[in-house]
Amino acid sequence: MSPNVLALLPEYILVLAGVLIMLAEPCLPAAASRKPLGWIAILGTALAGLASWYQLQFGTLHAFYGTIQVDAFSIFFHLLIAAVVLVTLLGSLDYFEGHATHAGEYFALTLFGATGMMFMTSSVELLMVFVGLEISSISTYIMAGFRKGQATASESSLKYFLLGSFATAFFLYGIALAFGATGSTNIYAIAHGLETTATPHLAFLALAMLIIGLGFKVSAAPFHVWTPDVYQGAPAPVVGLMSTAPKAAAFAVLLRITFSGFPAMQHRWAILMWVLAALSMTVGNLGALLQRDVKRMLAYSSIAHAGYLLVAFTAFPQDGIAAACFYTATYAAMNVGAFAVITQVSGYDETARSQEDFTGLASRRPMLAALLAFFLLSLIGIPFTGGFFGKFYVFSAAVAAGHVWLAVIGLLNSGVACFYYLRLLAAVYAKPTAESAALTSIPARRVSVPAAVGLTLAAIATLVLGILPGNTLWLTQYAGTSTIIESARQHCAPHPDNCHVELQMEQR
Amino acid sequence: MSAQVPIAYYLVLGAILFSIGIAAFLIKRNIITIFISIELMLNAVNLTFVAFSHMWHQVSGQIFVFFVMVVAAAEAAVGLAIIIAIFRARQTLNVDQINLMKL
Amino acid sequence: MTIDHSILTIITFVPLAGALLLAILPDKGKTMQWGALAITLLTFVCTLHLPAHYDYSAAAGSYQFDTDHSWISSPAIHYHLGVDGLSMWLIVLTGFLAPLGVLISWRAIDSRKKLFYILFLLQQVAMLGIFVSLDLFLYYAFWELSLVPMTLLIATFGRTENRRRAAIKYFLYAFIPSAILLVAILWLYVKTGTFDLPTLAGFAAANSISPNSAALWLASLAFLAAFAVKVPIFPLHGWLSDAISEAPTAAVMVLAGKLGLYSILRFSFGIFPQQSHRIAPLMIALGAIGIVYGALIALVQKDLKRLAAYGTLGHVSVVVLGIFTFTIAGLDGGIYQTLNEGIGGGALFMLLGLLYERYGTYDMREFGGLAAKLPWIVTLFVITTLSVVGLPILNGFVGEFLVFSGAMQASFAHHVMWTALATTGVILTAAYMLMMIQRVFYGSLGLKSSAVTAPDLDAREHLALWPVVAVMLAMGVASPYWMRAIDEAGTRIAQQHESIESTAPPAEATTSNVHAAEGGPR
Amino acid sequence: MSHLSQFQTFLLLSILKIAVVLVITLTAVAYTVLLERKVLGRMQNRWGPSRTGPFGLLQPLADGIKLFLKEDLLPLAAERPLFIIAPIIALACSLISISVVPFGAVQHVKGVDMFAVADLNIGLLVILGITSIGVYGIALSGWSSNNKFALLGSLRATSQMISYELALGLSLVGVVLRAQSLRLRDIVDSQAAHGALSWNVFGGFQFVAFFIYLMAAYAETNRSPFDLPEAESELVAGYHTEYSSMKFAMFFMAEYANMITVACVATLLFFGGPASPFGHLIPTFGGAIVQAVLPVLWFVAKVLAFLLLYIWVRGTLPRFRYDQLMSFGWKFLLPLAMLNIIVTSLVMALRG
Amino acid sequence: MQLALFLIFGVLAVAGAINLLLQRHPINSALSLVVVMMSLAVLYWSLGAEFLAAAQVIVYSGAIMVLFVFVIMLLNAGEEEHTTGSRIAYVAGFPGAAAIFCLLSFVFLSERKAMGGTDLGGYLSHSANNIAEISRLLFRDLLLPFEVTSILILVAILGAVVLARKEQ
């Protein structure tokens, strides 16, 4: 296979599946079920994941004149995105049944969005990153407004759109300034150009703008204002997707830009990240304390988790990348799981919204309640769940880099976080009240088989990441190492003689 | 022909436009105007790109602008569709009245 | 591969397997109770393997039934389990109390039994895990895990509407210091590259963890604070009375005491010997204050459970007083008293639970004159009380005696004064315990006790209570049998501290370096 | 003139060119109106304007005077500034685009090309750009009038123009591919080899593109059969319902100026511009002056032919329905234009 | 001449932007933005990017902004009203924007020397190659982004159809 095909195999598969769905959609009668299209999407996603796995044996691949770099890092995120999309699709296969007439477009948009995210993670050219970012953003804007009956859905879509575009402008400005400072938009060329740049302040400004732009995308405080409204209004499965996969992709970009693009400035941006992390954790957790709406609460919790993740950026490169990757994976597993449960509990009409509506869930839907409890415990960071090990790993990386106080802030925050998660958990296991019983028992639908499979996958992933994180850890550490090595190699390309030391790392 | 203009002047012009864009984004209450101010910000970025492209004698900056235009077009299509949808539902374009959810 | 190498794994995970089994079984009739009873009994039987095969002749400071597998390669986390004299009897005690907890909850828990027993078994897993783990990561995982089932038990099966608040209070009290504990553990890992307790203890003995004494101090305080809350030690006991008065009996039996005390003995003393030594005067003072404070508050309680809660505070304070004297007698007594607290406190709470089951209240003013109506209960109650107040022949006496004699030998400033204060606490304890007996069982009939006619103990309850009484007697009479293992652990710790005392403390430790307080490693 | 610097010469000559071209264009606009009325009259078996001056040749002048002297009405509810600015935009845009059109062979006087106001290397794009700005005139006129017919008319016009701009632009890509340049002079030169045979519409095999261009151009100029924006039976006069006097005249002139521009572009892109159809078949004759003027005549002749075609179509075809218009543009012209691009580029790639 | 161009159109652009901010009716804001875009097009041309200048006019002012104007006309929602929310925005908006402006300008001006000036003459003398150069880069080095843009447009079309469609 030519490297151009091999390197982009997962993306090709996703696009093909998406186009197939788009072509099939108008051919189906309006009243017909859209499930077959959903199955195409699921199949495509699974194949794309397998293709990523297949790429792992080839080491680092470059394609399209150095625009694309497929390495362990990008493969990790490809797998993660594929997994998240897979679980989301499984969970939403029956979601639109009987409600929306053109659910096929939802599946197609999901796949295209995933393609954009994958491009973001595997690209080392900021132009490509930008295009990928836009594909993923625009498809999520649309998906946020997909539940058109509800006024809140279009409102959520609008807010997401406006603030997302606002962030894009900052991101672009950052790219422009980086281009101005170094004369290139390739991440490695930027790193190289920084060594000789005549305009160092410009370069730092560029990085700051990039961080602001991506900060919006990952909803780090103080760029988080859109998150609660958007999560509250958007359909639950979409929130599950957009709180994880695009965020993971944005974090991947942020990792690449900071660690590969601006390594020379780490002493400066690490401070920025320190502040952002502390602020996000605190704002997220304190905000969540005040919330009654479950989705809104989880929105604030996702801000806090973005903060935990940002802690990894203050660590040494190799640890930091590995820890960030690992945390992204655990966060994705548990958050997607939590939203999948909420999808199943509240249904298309979102009958159950506030914590009171969830009161006594355990006595009516014991399995769903147990799963929700499990995901919430993982979000708290209880041992033997992914959440615990993720947090542990992130904070150990930060402590290793000497940021003990950040770890203290972070872990105290996770103490505060317990409060609101436990409140929901306690409500779920409390005796049902009259109103809550009325609300959550209306759609006493059975959980369909695909949704159950999706939930199980998420739960298993969360559990495995907590108990046997070995394989994932290996992949994340490989990702970290390969990123560092590739940076070194690219950096050395002009002066090959004085960097055999770094390249020796590769021999190991 | 005549005196050179420092690149920095173009950049400052870009910064002025960008800041006005931010201010408009925050201050304006009409959704469409807010969207328009985002476009203004993108234009400011484009000017910055072109100026740097000139400075480095590389057209890759210009290509970026080209892509920004395409993306802006795509965003405009989607954004205006969202705006139409919300206007149909709410009969208003004032962001302060788009407040079904607690802020 | 003999069974000795996997016995600890078996002990820890049998309850987990049981919990999964219960999750599958249908919640009909008495399935849950019988299932849980069978599992807890099985666990107990397994734990008995430990004293039966414990090698008393092994070198001091070695761990037995040792299992060590690499779990995660980087960071280097091991699945390392082991037992020594300190933890062995605690494991057996945990195993012993579990079936009793099931028996006592037999009728008290009548709805959502499945949830209750699953949580109960998970709590069991966490506690056993804490006692057997020798890897700090593993230990911390179990430590955190132990919070969850307990919180849920309180939140779901609590007595009044106040249960959710009590549960969250308990959780936050325990979780926030634990978070700091994690930071300290991470810091240790960064400094030493290992989570392995024996290795760390070796480093600590060689004084080679970190040259930054201020950071070491902060880390040791983080450890101690997390454990002190769980014990609880005097000013950190805010969660105790609420949690105890809300929690169901089976949960209360294991709520306070041994986890925190064991952790102090094992980890604080093991990894931070010097810092523990230096902070001992403060802890002795807090222990003494705790004894008196607990007793005084208990004296004025009207609610039986709250009375018992403050009593618990007093009892665990005795242990604190004992272990921080760093004398062999004090340490032995402290460890012994930890066991006693489990037994005596457990029995007391079981009996209170029985009364509540019969009369639906814990208010002392509504009882009275029950002695004639419930002869068996009153008998057992009196025996338990005597054990708690430390009457000779019963177990309490051995522990308290050792603690106080150790406290008198201690070499810290003002220790005599604090010991004297603590001794008054013993008298106060006797006062409130006996007053409680007097009020509940003697005198005129109270409001409830006259209105409700309740049966005396049935066979199941006899089965739950007599073993405890038997153990009380056995531990009171045949204390050397139990003491053999404990003494080994106590002696080891005491000797370590003697050596610290003999070598003068490093000068810089007294004037703690402000700059270094920034967080240590740079 | 020798004492003038090069820059000053350039400036003076440019102003001169602008003035001349502007006058000629405006006159042409006036007489195109007359031509249309005359030819339409003949097609409908009547005489058309014939009273004012010989053969009615002074009719445009009389119309102009009439429009100047009429009362300038301003509706009360109109958005004043936009209402006034809209016709200006419309007329200005239609006139500016003439500026890049080379209407004769290359003739340098003191280094300045005399037969093109401006010779830009993106001339084609400039025309497209200015045309697309012209939409604002129509859009704003309808909206600022505060009249529902005007608004509907301008909405129709706007969407029609946006839609057909796409097909228009794409139809030109084939031509650009062949010329490998966006400069109009280069495009003309690329068709110069063998007279009419090498014109894009014949030898360049761009007849499909030409067809698309023609359709799109009719729609862009809001001419019959695509004159829905001013469908009298439905919308009174469409977007300029509320306009009168000079402002109305400006819209009127803009429409005809646009026609001329479009005809010029068609001539340049598909019919060899100012080149003679006979190429080298006819030997060169006459002096330098004749050599300079003859291409201009060819150019004018070709443009005139297009204008006649316009008028002919108007006299012959009925008006489309709105949905037909849209589906014709999007479902037929657009795919066809893309197909044309693909085929053209494939052929070019295969040829080397 | 370059300076004159820059001053005239720079001032025009800023005036347009400020007008955008001050106007209350969205259509006026949109037209102000068109003015900004046209001035920027001239500035692009003055920086040697004539292809972009044309693209700016055709795509941005000729298509995107027409779409805006079209939607504004279609919805005809009237002028914006000021509410309590806008007062907060005033308090937050102006200082924030001013701060960003000051920071950016400070950095630009302090590093002005390093960035140099425009050399329009030298640049424009090869300007005939500009478009060719752009296409070379676009269809070779940056081929993938160019192709992937088609997905973006597909998504946008899909989205516009999904969102603007009326539910039955």
Q: Is the pLDDT of residue C243 over 60?
A: yes
pLDDT score recorded for residue C509:
43
How many structural domains is chain B composed of?
A: 1
Across the A:B interface, residue pairs with CB atoms under 8 Å apart total 114
Cβ neighbour number for residue A24 with a 10 Å cutoff: 16
**Torsional sign, CA C185, C190, C195, C198:** negative
Q: What is the pLDDT of residue B38?
A: 93
Question: Nearest residue of C to residue A476 by CA position?
Answer: C74
B100/chain A closest Cα distance in angstroms:
6
Dihedral sign from CA coordinates of E19, E22, E28, E34 = positive
Q: What is the pLDDT of residue A47?
A: 94
> Is B27 inside any structural domain?
yes
- Residue A20 to residue A29: CA distance in whole angstroms: 16
The residue-averaged pLDDT of A418-441 equals 74
Q: How far apart are CA E63 and CA A378, in angstroms?
A: 50
* pLDDT band at residue E63 using 50, 70 and 90 as cut-offs: confident
Query: How close does chain E come to B20, measured CA to CA in Å?
Result: 7
Whole-number Å distance between alpha carbons of D243 and A69:
61
Q: How confident is the model at residue A127 (pLDDT cuts 50, 70, 90)?
A: very high
Contact C338, C489 (CB under 8 A): no
What is the least distance, in Å, from the CA of B97 to any CA of chain A? 10
Please give the pLDDT value at position B41: 93
pLDDT-derived band at A276, boundaries 50, 70, 90: very high
Residue A474's domain comprises 3-507
- Looking at the predicted structure, is the pLDDT value of residue A170 above 90? yes
- pLDDT of A12: 93
**CA B29, CA C155: separation in Å to the nearest integer?**
47
**Which residues of chain C have a CB within 8 Å of the CB of A400?**
186, 190
Q: Is C356 on the interface with A (CB under 8 A)?
A: no
Whether the predicted pLDDT of C478 surpasses 90:
no
Q: Which of residues 65-124 of E touch A (CB under 8 A)?
A: 103-104, 107-108, 110-111, 114-115
Distance from the E27 Cα atom to the nearest Cα atom in chain D, whole angstroms:
9
Please indicate whether residue C522 or residue C270 has the higher confidence score (pLDDT). C270
The pLDDT assigned to E120 comes to 60
Q: Are C312 and C329 in contact (CB under 8 A)?
A: no
Say what the pLDDT of residue B71 is: 92
Question: Is residue B103 domain-resident?
Answer: no
Name the band, by pLDDT with cuts 50, 70 and 90, for residue E82. low
Look at A430 and C164 and tell me if their CB atoms are within 8 Å: yes
The pLDDT value given to residue C515:
42
A383 and C144 within 8 Å at the Cβ level: the answer is yes
Chain B 54-73, residues with CB within 8 Å of chain E CB atoms: 54-55, 57, 59-60, 62-63, 65-67, 69-73
Whether residue B97 is predicted with pLDDT greater than 90 in this model: the reply is no
Provide the H-helix boundaries in C78-196: 85-105, 113-132, 136-145, 147-157, 163-192
d(CA D220, CA D210): 15
A134–B48 C-beta distance less than 8 A: no
Among E residues 130-159, those touching chain A with beta carbons less than 8 Å apart: 140-145, 148-149, 151-152, 154-156, 158-159
- Minimal Cβ distance to A135: which of E142, E144, E151: E151
D327 touches chain E (CB under 8 A): no
Is B51 domain-assigned? yes
Q: What is the pLDDT of residue C508?
A: 43
D192: CB partners within 8 A, 6+ apart: D198, D272, D275, D279
pLDDT at D127 over 80: yes
Cβ neighbours of A142 in E, within 8 Å: 155, 158-159, 162-163
Residue E168 scores a pLDDT above 60: no
Residues contacting C302, CB < 8 A, separation 6+: C363, C364, C365
Q: What percent of chain C has pLDDT over 90?
A: 5
Instruction: Give me the amino acid identity at C14.
Output: V
Given a cut of 80, whether residue E121 has pLDDT beyond it is: no
| Mean pLDDT calculated for residue range C252-265 | 84
Q: Is the pLDDT of residue D272 over 60?
A: yes
Overall domain count for chain A? 1
The pLDDT of A430-449, averaged and rounded, is 66
In angstroms, the Cα distances linking A149 to A94, A99, A126, A153, E168 are: 17, 9, 38, 8, 10
Q: Tell me the mean pLDDT in the region C189-194.
A: 87
Per-residue confidence at A445, pLDDT binned at 50, 70, 90? low
What share of chain A has pLDDT > 90, as a percent? Answer: 38
Do residue D136 and residue E70 have CB atoms under 8 angstroms apart? no
* Cβ separation B101–A155 shorter than 8 A: yes
Q: Decide if pLDDT at D233 tops 80.
A: no
Check CB contact of B73 with chain A, cutoff 8 Å. Answer: no
Across the range D201-217, mean pLDDT stands at 84
What's the confidence (pLDDT) of residue C511? 40
Measure the CA–CA gap between A448 and D150, rounded to whole angstroms.
55
The amino acid present at E57, given as its one-letter code, is V
Q: Decide if pLDDT at E135 tops 60.
A: yes
**CB B59 within 8 Å of CB B22:** no
CA distance A11 to chain B (A): 20
* Contact between E168 and A101 using a beta-carbon 8 Å cutoff: yes
Asked if C168 and A411 come within 8 Å (Cβ–Cβ), the reply is no
pLDDT digits (tens, 9 = 90+) for D298-351: 888 888 998 898 888 888 888 888 888 888 888 898 999 999 899 988 988 888
Mapped onto helix, strand or coil, the DSSP state of residue A28 is coil
Q: What's the rounded Cα separation, in Å, for the pair B84 and B90? A: 10
Distance from CA of A473 to the nearest CA of C (A): 8
What is the CATH T-level fold of the domain E1-81, as seen in this structure? Four Helix Bundle (Hemerythrin (Met), subunit A) (1.20.120)
Question: Whole domain around residue B25: which residue ranges?
Answer: 7-97
Per-residue confidence (pLDDT) for residue A507, from 0 to 100: 41
Report the 10 Å Cβ neighbour count for C108.
15
Q: Alpha helices, DSSP H only, in A187-316?
A: 187-196, 200-217, 227-233, 236-242, 245-255, 266-289, 294-311
What average pLDDT does this structure show over E76-92? 68
Q: Do chains B and E touch (3 or more CB pairs under 8 A)?
A: yes
* Cβ contacts of C103 within 8 Å, gap of 6 or more: C37, C460, C461, C463, C464
Least confident of A257-271, A272-286, C405-419, D317-331: C405-419
* pLDDT surpassing 90 at residue D255: no
Is the minimum CB–CB distance between B80 and chain A shorter than 8 Å?
no
Q: How far is A409 from chain E (nearest CA, A)?
A: 28
Whose tokens are 């280069």? That residue is: D186
Q: Which two tokens stand for residue E19?
A: 């007008």
Give the HSE-up count for residue A37: Cα atoms under 13 Å, Cβ half-sphere.
Answer: 30
Nearest to A397 by CA among A304, A476, A493, A458: A476
State chain C's mean pLDDT as an integer.
84
Given a cut of 80, whether residue B20 has pLDDT beyond it is: yes
Lowest mean pLDDT among A90-104, D85-99, E151-165: A90-104
User: CB D155 to CB E31 under 8 A?
Assistant: no
Q: Does B49 touch chain A (CB under 8 A)?
A: yes
- Determine, for residues A169 and B31 on separate chains, whether the beta-carbon distance falls below 8 Å: no
Phi, psi torsion values for C65, nearest 5 degrees:
55, 40
What pLDDT does residue E126 have?
52
ipTM value for the complex: 0.87
pLDDT of residue D76: 78
Helix ranges (H only) for A294-356 are 294-311, 317-346
Condensed to tens digits (0 to 9), the pLDDT of residues A332-342 reads: 999 999 999 98
> Does D169 contact chain E (CB < 8 Å)?
yes
Distance from A343 to chain E by nearest Cα, in Å? 22
Of A158, A175, A229, the CB nearest to B82: A158
Nearest CB among C72, C155, C190 relative to A473 is that of C72
CB contact, 8 Å: C73 with chain A? yes
Mean pLDDT across chain D: 83
Average pLDDT of chain E is: 82
Q: What is the pLDDT of residue C514?
A: 40
Q: Comparing C254 with A135, which gets the higher pLDDT?
A: A135
Percent of the residues in chain E that have a pLDDT greater than 90, as a whole number: 20
Choose, out of D143, D177, D220, the residue to mutate when testing the contact with E (most E CBs < 10 Å): D143
Whether C429 shows a pLDDT value over 50: the answer reads yes
Q: What angle do CA A426, A431, A434 make, to 5 degrees?
A: 120
CATH number of domain containing B34: 1.10.287.3510
Per-residue pLDDT band for A436 (boundaries 50, 70, 90) equals: low
